[in-house]
Amino acid sequence: MTEAELRAGIRDAFGTLNAVAEAAILRELAEPINLGHSERLQFEACPHFFGVKLVQTEEEIVPDSAIQDAVPEELRGALLASDLDLSVSEMIEAELPAWLADRWQAAGGPGHYRPAYLLFHGGMDEPRYDLEQRRWCEVEEVWPDEA
């Protein structure tokens, strides 16, 4: 399999969780969210198990390991058999931001809170993925007044 085919397979695996993620986002959007001192809605992904939660409410959007568990064994085997120097985790990490942006759009998130970001757990200095602009931003760009 080519890298493009493997990435498409990862995205297909994510697709099995579309309804779960969208329902969780809609559940969170149903009530007012206190953005707190950050003034930005943020989702946080675990860089090991790839669970996703909404930072402000600490509510789960995608359970830990659900994304990894959704990747079929055949796809894992194809990746291991390939000449690519990538792990399943690296491919998940690369594809997760765009997938979550799709779920955010599908749930109507931008109509409630703008901007909204995804970060991988690791600290306040971690870059954020803008779910609307679909690009990574440095912290100084997200909070220019604090730079």
| Average predicted confidence (pLDDT) for the chain | 93
* Band of residue 36 on the pLDDT scale cut at 50, 70, 90: confident
The 10 Å Cβ neighbour count of residue 93 is 16
- From CA 97, how far away is CA 45, in angstroms rounded? 9
Q: What does residue 47 show for φ and ψ, rounded to 5 degrees?
A: -75, 0
Q: What is the pTM of this model?
A: 0.93
pLDDT of residue 39: 87
Dihedral sign computed on CA atoms, order 54, 55, 60, 64: positive
* Domain encompassing residue 32: 3-146
The per-residue pLDDT for 124 is 78
Strands 41-45 and 116-120: parallel
- For the cut 80, the answer to whether the pLDDT of residue 85 exceeds it is yes
Q: What is the arithmetic mean of pLDDT over 83-98? A: 93
Percent of the chain whose predicted confidence (pLDDT) is above 70: 99
Overall domain count for the chain: 1
